[in-house]
Amino acid sequence: MGQRLAIQLLLLSVCSPSFLSGGGPTDSAWAGVPLPEPLRLSQLEQSLPPGPQAVQKLFSSDDVVEFVLATDFSRLKEDRGQESEEIPGQVAVRGAGGEAVDIPIQVKTRGKFRLQRRICSDPPLRLNFPESEPRGTAFDGLDKLKMVTHCRGADSYEQNVLEEYLAYRIYNHLTDISFRVQLAKVTYLDTSGENDPVTRMAFLIENHDAMAARLGGLIMDAPVTYPTGFVRDQLSLFYVFQFMIGNVDWGTGSSHNVEVVRLEDGHHPVPYDFDFTGLVDAPYAGPNELTKDLHDEVRQRVYWGVCVPGIDYMATFERFQAVREDVLAQARRPIGLSERNVESAADYLEDFYEILDDESKARAVIITKCRKWAIK
């Protein structure tokens, strides 16, 4: 309580009845309520670790970027609509020389399922960085970034964040046609003074346009509807990866948890959002309406790929075998997972590889289980 009181007194000393430029109430409950003024850099720096930032460029390593995120979290957490509004915030981070840098940003809630208050008290966020001159930080040159946060305060939800990060990194090992992610240690400062400061692990996701530009392609606003419209070897990799992590919460036709990027050789599916996977096994996750008769819980794998002519499953399995050691090493890497969660993740992935090691079993639970589709 003493730390919370100190923060509240600190914030009261800098509050003003004026709105920040570009800010405003997020719903009628906040109409006429002023936003707090930004914190001074000296106040933000108190929550930063000493020394130079280990991460010089985002999405370039498994190192952890550490920063402070300050905003009016009381107001932000009330905005649970699909048309959520941005409010002003600040990111404080150390540069390569160890100096503290304050970056003004805009922050908003995002998502669908995890945006619901009954599911997550702390919703996922999107950080919108301004166009500005490089300041020698890991955030130079960035635009909009999704941030996956802890859903609730219990440590188990932070473990879920790290397990979802692992899913993204596994797909990075399989293909460059994937979203890069950056592990982060974030200190959240509520400028309203209503919530205690808290430090938790999170991760940032590469912007979809930045991902497409990195690959020399374009994100498709009107994506491919039929499976036959995708490059076959990438589609089969996508299908088997979803089986690997125990995921049926996706749809290429509906673009549910899938981006479609157009490259020179055709359309490629790029998966995201892995909280409903068996690998993560979030407390709120369970079989959906389409698969509830096929499994009792998300740890039970269901192959959800479509029967598409031209898929070479043996070649796809070889791609998974080629990165086997990297995948298992990634699962056992010390990224903050508890020993219990490390063993759970590693065992789950090894079970997948045991299926691939037995051709008859792979044929029985993957190849022959593809979904029949009206191919066009």
In this predicted structure, the answer to whether residue 292 has a pLDDT above a threshold of 60 is yes
In three-state form (DSSP H/G/I as H, E/B as E, the rest C), the secondary structure along the chain is CHHHHHHHHHHHCCCCCCCCCCCCCCCHHHCCCCCCCCCCHHHHHCCCCCCCCCCCCCCCCCCCEEEEEEECHHHHHHCCCCCCCCEEEEEEEECCCCCEEEEEEEEEECCCCCCCCCCCCCCCEEEECCCCCCCCCCCCCCCEEEEECCCCCCHHHHHHHHHHHHHHHHHHHHCCCCCCEEEEEEEEEECCCCCCCEEEEEEEECCHHHHHHHHCCEECCCCCCCHHHECHHHHHHHHHHHHHCCCCCCECCCCECEEEEEECCEEEEEECCCCCCCCCCCCCCCCCCCCCCCCCCCCCCCCCCECCCCCCHHHHHHHHHHCHHHHHHHHCCCCCCCHHHHHHHHHHHHHHHHHHHCHHHHHHHCHHHCECCCCC
pLDDT, position 9: 34
pLDDT, position 32: 60
* Greater model confidence, 152 or 82: 152
In this predicted structure, the answer to whether residue 309 has a pLDDT above a threshold of 70 is yes
- Per-residue pLDDT, averaged over 236-252, amounts to 97
In this predicted structure, the answer to whether residue 291 has a pLDDT above a threshold of 50 is yes
* Greater model confidence, 143 or 9: 143
- Per-residue pLDDT, averaged over 250-274, amounts to 95
pLDDT, position 29: 61
Task: Please write the tens of the pLDDT for every residue from 121-171.
Answer: 999 999 999 887 788 899 999 999 999 999 999 999 999 999 999 999 999
- Per-residue pLDDT, averaged over 27-38, amounts to 68
Confidence at 12, pLDDT banded by 50, 70, 90: very low
Report domain extents, the chain: 2-209, 217-369
Average pLDDT over all residues of the chain? 89
